[in-house]
Structure formats: C-alpha cells, structure tokens
Amino acid sequence: MTDFTLWDIVRNLLLAGRWTVVLSLIAFAGGALVGLVLTLARMGGLKPIRWLIRLYVDLFQGTPLLMQLFLAYFGAAVLGFDVSAWTAASVALTLFTSAFLCDIWRGCVEAVPSGQWQASRVLGLNYLQSMRHVILPQALRLAVPPTVGFSVQVIKGTALASVIGFVELTKAGTMLNNAAFAPFTIFALVALGYFILCYPLSRYARHLEKKLYGAGIR
Amino acid sequence: MTLDFSTLLPYTDQILHGLMTTLWLTAVTTMAGIALAIVVAYLRDGASKGRPSLVSRLLGGYVEVIRNTPFIVQLFFLFFGLPALGIPISATVAALLAMTLNLGAYTAEILRAGIDSTQRGQHEAARALGLSRLQSFRHVVLVPAFSRVYPSLISQCIIVMLGSAVVSQISVFDLTYAANFIQSRNFRGFEVYLVVTLIYLLLAVGLRLAFEFVGRRLFAFRQGGSA
Amino acid sequence: MALVSVKDLHKSFGELEVLKGIDLEVEAGEVVSIIGRSGSGKSTLLRCLNQLERHDWGTIVLADQRLDGAAMSPGELSQNVGMVFQSFNLFPHKTVVENVMLAPLVVKQTPRGEARRIAESVLAKVGMSEKVDAYPAQLSGGQQQRVAIARALAMNPKVLLCDEVTSALDPELVGEVLRVLEELAREGMTLILVTHEMKFARDVSDRVVFMHQGRIHESGDPQTLFTQPRTPELSQFIASVL
C-alpha cells in the first residue's frame, strides 16, 4: 500500500467519477424522455395501454435495480447481442428512471384539479391542447421538486453498474482497494464523492419543495 | 434465441436458501431499523424545539450521509473498512448493520414528518395530565405519527428489501447470491435472473400485503363509525 | 385560606402583554366562571393555572403550595389541577378507558387493576360506561368531551379547569356536557371555567369574573353581575352576548 499516495487514490477516483456523472446524465435524460412519453400515454391512452404502463412501473418499482441490470446484461446476450457493460447499464438505468419518473409525474398531473380539465374541454380544447396549455404548465410546477429529488436516486443507482463491471466511482474504489488495501480511506472517499454529487441536489429539492408548499412543510 | 428454465431445477435448494436469507435479513432489519428510527426521531425532535444540540447535529449528519450515498458503498465501507480499523465483522453482520443504518435514516425522516404533524392539543393534553416528554412521546405521539406516515414506511421497507440484493456482493448467501451461484454453474444467466427477479417481485407484493394487514390491526383506531 | 390564590399575575407574548396583574382567589368547592371577549386574556389565565403557559411575574398558590416555576413537577401538578380543552384532545389511538387510565398508570404508577377501577368509576360519573372500549373517532363530540372530563377526573385533582369546553360542540350536544359539569359542581368539585355559555355561568357559578384587556374588570355573584353591571364594558359585553 506504500505504492499509493493519497493523491493517487483521489486522482483515480476523480477520473472514474466522471463516468458516474456521465452515466447519471444518460440515465436521467433518457429516463426523462421515456418517462414523459409514458406519462402522456398513460394519461390519455386507452385502457389496455394504461394498464400496460402501470405494469411496467410496478415491475421496475417492485424488483431490485441490481436484477434489472443483470437482466439487461444477460438478456441482450440471449437476444444475440454482445453488449458492453456501458450499454447494459445505460439501458437498465434509463428504464428504471423512466418508470419512477412516470409514477412521480402521473401523480403531479393528477394533482391538477379536475375542474381545470373540464374548463378547458368546455372551451373546446382537445386532449392534447388541454394537456399542453392548461394541465402540463400547472403539473410542471408540482413536478420539479420531486424530479430533482429523484435525480439523487439515479446517481446512487449508477453505483450498481459496478457489479456488472462498469468502471465508475464504486468500481474504481473496489479496484483501488484490491491494489492499495486502504478500505477505510478509499470507501470513505468514494462515499464523499457521491455525497458531493447528491447533497446539493437533495438540498435544492428540499428548497424547491419548501418554496412550493410554503414554509410550513417542515 | 431459446430459453431453457429446466436447468434451474437442480438448484431449488440454493434458491430456497437464498430466499430464507433475504427474508430474515429483511425481517430483522425492518424491526431494528424502525427501532433505530424511533430513537433518532425522538432525540432530534427534542432538539428541534430550541437551538440544535450537538447530538441533534450528529444525528442530522448521519441521516444526510446515508441518504446521499449509495447503499453498496455503505456496505463496502462497513464490511471492508471496519476490519481495517481492527473491528472484525462478518459479512452477515455487515449486511444487517448496513441495512439497519440505511432503513433507520430514511425512516427517521419519514417518522419526523409524522411527529411534526402532531396537533398541539395532543402535547398539551399530555402535559396537563402530567406526562413527561418521553412518556408523552411514547404513549401519545408515536403511534398516531406512525399511522400517518405508514404508506411511506411500507414503501421504504420494500426499497430496503429490494436493495438487499446488493449484500450478495460481500458473499452473503441471499437470493441474488443464489442466482449468481447458479448462473456460474449452468451459464443460463438470463433465465436464472428472470426467475429470481420474479421471486423478488412476489416478495415485494407479499411484504406490502403483510404490512397492510398489520397496519389495519395496529391502526384500527382510525376507522370511525359506531362502536 | 383559599384553595387557589393568584397574586399579581403578569404574562406577555413578545411585545403583547396579555395578563396585566391578575389577583384571584377561589375557595374549595367554588364554581368560578370567567367571561370576556376573545383576547381579554381569560384562556391565558386558565393555562397559567396549570402551567401550560409560564407566567412572567406573580405567584400561584394551590392548597398552600406554590405551583409555579419549578416548585411543582408536572406529575404533582396534574394531581392538583385537571384540565379540559375546547377541542377535547383525546388520544385517538387509545380506547375510551385507555385514555382515562393512561395518566394514573404512567404518571401515578397506579396498579393496572386499580387504574381500571378508577377509570370505570369516573366514566360512570360522566355517563360513558357503555362506551369504554370505543375509540374517540367512534364518538360524538359531546361524548368525547365527557370522556375528556373523566380523563381529567381520574387524577383526582383538587380543581378542574375548563377552557371553553362546549365551544367546539354542535348546539344539540352542549347540554350533555354542561349537565356533567353541573353534577360535578353539586358534588363540591372546584371548577374554574372559561365559557361563552352565559346561561350556564349565571345558573351554576358561585361567582363570575369578567376580564377585559388583561385585567379582572369586574367580578361578583352572577345575579348581580348580569343584572346590574357596574361598568360600561361589562354592560356592552352582556348586551353583545345575550
């Protein structure tokens, strides 16, 4: 362990930390996109579509993210693709994120009073127009705090990509530990890395929530 | 593409073993985590009335650290880090400790919301009857607070149960470990993980139903109507 | 020697002085109604008497014992002074009998069997024997308030404080609660009530105290006070509520 200075450890963790950030961004952006489509389809779609989306959400919320990663990794192989850990992690985390965001956003759309729907339909707006001009702008306001809050779960979720061999912050930590054997320092630094990424987002989400619901919330 | 689930059959014992481990880890953790959360919430609640004390700040730090770092890192930190400090710890104990600390932090936050929404009159009635702060917390505040946040509590316990899949990474023989084990023997990764994922899904549904059943007994007082 | 003796009681909330020097003596077995506009300080006075509010200045003596400051522990205090609230404040997760037994069990360390016996006897007194195992949510407001009275009585207090105990009730439920209080008064319980029920104040009280702007403005026996008010403030108040 004498071969590794603290700086070596920190530098390696920082380098790997980039991939945590990139994977988080991919998962969040992809998840938001898929989640948005799902939310819209769920709000307006036919019964069977709504039912399918609900099943999708329940499946992702009712199973371990780790299993989802394994399934993406091994499932692709069954389908005849040779996928990298990169692809498997991106796909699994995107789907995972989309399911949770779909659930959060559905709640926000439903929180808009039904009188708003009736009023816009009475004015002659069709479903998409009501959604776009009346419902979504109001739902959006409600959606921001929990969405920011969920981004913390996405970042933490990327740590599991280490298990299928994706080298991000956590995987770099275990690899460094195998070489340097300074587990206390290394995993404390890894935790610190996540904390630096997550804590500001947590604080911001709480701040937004307070602003939205007034000071009485906490 | 062909799926073959028959190669799983010889490994029923491993799956059952893993299932039992996941179940008892979850059961112990749920109880220990809720107990921890009650203590944390009580100590923080006391301090929130005035200037936050040192204890309250420390507990607040604990809650924030747990909530803003991944469970797998918490687990590795305990399992690899504590022995390096001269504190020997088995994989099972590390798993229990990590899961309990994790659930405790989240539940303390959830419970706090329930405690904060206690009506002032309840505190006053307790004080007028001569109950101390601890007596009032235990006999008057706690149960209604739990009843108000029970749905969030159920979700959090399920999240911890699902998250426990990660303890396979420190060689605790849980459901996921069983899946990894089988996969390494029969090379049928997808089939194995599909089956085990479904078992987790059933566990999640079962856990929710069990919690709801217990909740209906525990919080029967919420139902109005004639006696 | 009066049972309760309040001298020069002052209380402020921030800049606002709510009690500006209250002197009040209540004899054992006396029923005293405190009336006045909202904001006159009558509820604050009542809440100082069992130290839900700490007063800033003055003394409160109960049966020769100071009860203010740290002179009396909350446990001792609750065995001297009971309180019934406007909003009942029953504990929702406890049955009627559990609500009543809680303080004897936890504060007085009464054995369970004995606590149960006490609870049943006070519940009988307020006419709630039929509902011992009901939860508060299953009771009407009047029934809840009667249980709250029983809960306070279970500690066998020397004086019972009642803070607008009928104000949250539907009109048709007011009577059953007032009847319980009347019965208690007849049995010789010392009662101090803040109330808007002028008829009750007039018929049941031994003395009525009119508070105005943080002071006791007028007090006397109910007949005289209501029929011959000496100050214009009381005249106006009576005219506005009758």
Query: What is the rounded distance in angstroms from the CA atom of residue B29 to the CA atom of residue B107?
Result: 12
Give me B151's structure tokens: 């749905």
Is the Cα torsion angle B69, B74, B77, B78 positive or negative in sign?
Answer: positive
CB of C79 within 8 Å of any CB in chain B? Answer: yes
For residue B5, is it within any domain? no
B4 within some domain: no
Has residue A153 got a pLDDT over 50?
yes
User: Is B65 part of any domain?
Assistant: yes
In a domain, B68, yes or no: yes
Instruction: Please tell me the distance in Å from B141's CA to the nearest CA on chain C.
Output: 9
SS (H, E, C) C79-91: HHEEEECCCCCCC
Using DSSP's 3-state secondary structure scheme, residue C63 falls into: coil
Q: Do A188 and B205 touch (CB under 8 A)?
A: no
**Is residue B143, in this structure, part of any structural domain at all?**
yes
Closest CA to B27 of B214, B218, B217: B214
pTM of the full structure: 0.90
Q: What average pLDDT does range C91-107 have in this prediction?
A: 96
Question: What percent of chain C clears pLDDT 90, i.e. is strictly above it?
Answer: 83
**Cβ atoms of B150 and B143 closer than 8 Å:** no
Looking only at the bridges linking them, the beta strands covering C65-66 and C57-62 are antiparallel
Closest CA to B25 of B84, B77, B103: B103
> Span B178-191, mean pLDDT?
89
Query: pLDDT averaged over chain B?
Result: 92
- C138–B121: do the CB atoms touch at under 8 Å? no
Largest CA distance in chain C: 56
For residue B42, the one-letter residue type is Y
Q: Residue B227: is its pLDDT beyond 50?
A: no
Mean pLDDT of B154-178: 96
Residue B182: list chain A partners with CB under 8 A: none
| Mean pLDDT, residues B170-189 | 92
The domain tally of chain B equals: 1
**DSSP per position, A70-103:** HHHHHHHHHTT----HHHHHHHHHHHHHHHHHHH
Q: Hey, is the C-beta of C102 within 8 angstroms of any chain B C-beta?
A: yes
Whether residue B111 lies inside any domain: the answer is yes
Q: In this complex, is the C-beta atom of C221 within 8 Å of any C-beta atom belonging to chain B? A: no
pLDDT exceeds cutoff 60 at B103: yes
| Segment C23-44, tens digit of pLDDT | 999 999 999 999 999 889 999 9
Asked if the C-beta of B77 comes within 8 angstroms of chain A's C-beta atoms, the answer is yes
Helix ranges restricted to H, B51-188: 54-67, 71-76, 82-84, 91-116, 120-128, 133-136, 142-163, 175-186
**What is the reported pLDDT for A2?**
56
Express as a percent the part of chain A with pLDDT over 70.
96
Q: How far is Cα C21 from Cα C9, in angstroms, rounded to an integer?
A: 5
Residues A88-114, mean pLDDT to the nearest whole number: 94
Chain A interface test: which of B8, B69, B82 (most A C-beta within 10 Å): B69
Least confident range of A37-46, A92-101, B40-49, B161-170: B40-49
Residue C64 pLDDT level (bands cut at 50, 70, 90): confident
| pLDDT score for C141 | 95
Other CB atoms within a 10 A radius of the CB of residue A44 amount to 13
In angstroms, the separation between the Cα of residue C192 and the nearest Cα of chain B is 15
> pLDDT-based confidence at B46, cuts 50/70/90?
low
| C interface test, pick of B118, B119, B123, B129 with most C CB neighbours within 10 Å | B129
Summarised one tens digit per residue, pLDDT across range C110-132 is 999 999 999 999 999 999 999 99
Cα dihedral sign, A109-A115-A120-A126: positive
How many Cβ pairs within 8 Å bridge chains B and C?
A: 84
In terms of Cα–Cα distance, which of C199, C155, C124, C182 is closest to C50?
C155
Q: Does B194 touch chain A (CB under 8 A)?
A: yes
Q: Which residues of B touch A154 (CB under 8 A)?
A: none
Span A44-94, pLDDT tens digits: 778 999 999 999 999 999 999 999 999 999 888 888 888 889 999 999 999
| Tens digit of each residue's pLDDT (9 = 90 or more) over B116-136 | 999 999 999 999 999 999 999
Q: Do C76 and B130 touch (CB under 8 A)?
A: yes
Domain boundaries, chain C: 4-241
Rg of chain A on CA atoms, in Å: 21
Whether B2 is in a domain gets the answer: no
% of residues, chain B, pLDDT over 90: 81
B175: domain CATH number? Answer: 1.10.3720.10
Distance from CA of C83 to the nearest CA of B (A): 6
> CATH 3.40.50.300: does it fit domain C4-241?
yes
Cβ-defined contact of A195 to B77 (cutoff 8 Å)? no
**What tokens appear for A187 in the block?**
């995993």
Residue C71 has pLDDT above 70, yes or no: yes
The overall average pLDDT reported for chain A is 91
CA-nearest residue to B110 within chain A is A218
Give residue A102's Cα distance to chain centre.
Answer: 11
- Comparing alpha-carbon positions, the chain A residue that sits nearest to B179 is A67
User: What domains does chain A contain, in order, with CATH numbers?
Assistant: 6-217 (1.10.3720.10)
Query: Could you tell me the pLDDT band of residue C191, with boundaries at 50, 70 and 90?
Result: very high
Whether the per-residue pLDDT at B50 is higher than 90: the answer is: no
Q: How many other β-carbons are positioned within 10 Å of the β-carbon of residue B205?
A: 13
Task: Report if residue B3 sits inside a domain.
Answer: no
Among B173, B17, B31, B150, residue whose Cα is nearest residue B95: B173
pLDDT recorded at residue A124: 87
pLDDT confidence tier of residue A217, bands split at 50, 70 and 90: very low
Domain span at B148: 10-119+126-220
- Mean pLDDT computed over A119-148: 89
| Residues C91/C136, Cβ–Cβ less than 8 Å | yes
φ, ψ at C112 (rounded to 5°): -55, -45
Place of tokens 């606002």: C16
What residue of B is the nearest CA neighbor of C148? B125
Instruction: State chain B's maximal CA–CA distance in angstroms.
Output: 73
Chain A: closest CA distance from residue B192 (Å): 9
Task: Give me the pLDDT at residue B1, please.
Answer: 57
Cβ of residue C155 closer than 8 Å to a chain B Cβ: yes
Q: Name the nearest CA neighbour of B26 among B172, B180, B191.
A: B172
From B227's Cα to the closest Cα of chain A, the distance in A is 35
Best CA proximity match to B153, nearest among B124, B123, B127, B115: B115
SS3 C194: strand
**C94: chain B residues, CB-CB within 8 Å:** 221
Q: Do chains B and C touch (3 or more CB pairs under 8 A)?
A: yes
Q: Which range has the worst mean pLDDT, B42-56, B192-206, C89-103, C215-229?
A: B42-56
- Residue A125 backbone phi and psi in degrees, to 5: -75, 140
Long-range contact list for B31-36, CB < 8 A, 24+ apart? B32/B96, B32/B100, B32/B103, B32/B104, B33/B99, B33/B100, B33/B101, B33/B102, B33/B103, B33/B104, B33/B107, B33/B157, B33/B160, B34/B103, B34/B104, B34/B107, B34/B153, B36/B100, B36/B101, B36/B103, B36/B104, B36/B107, B36/B108
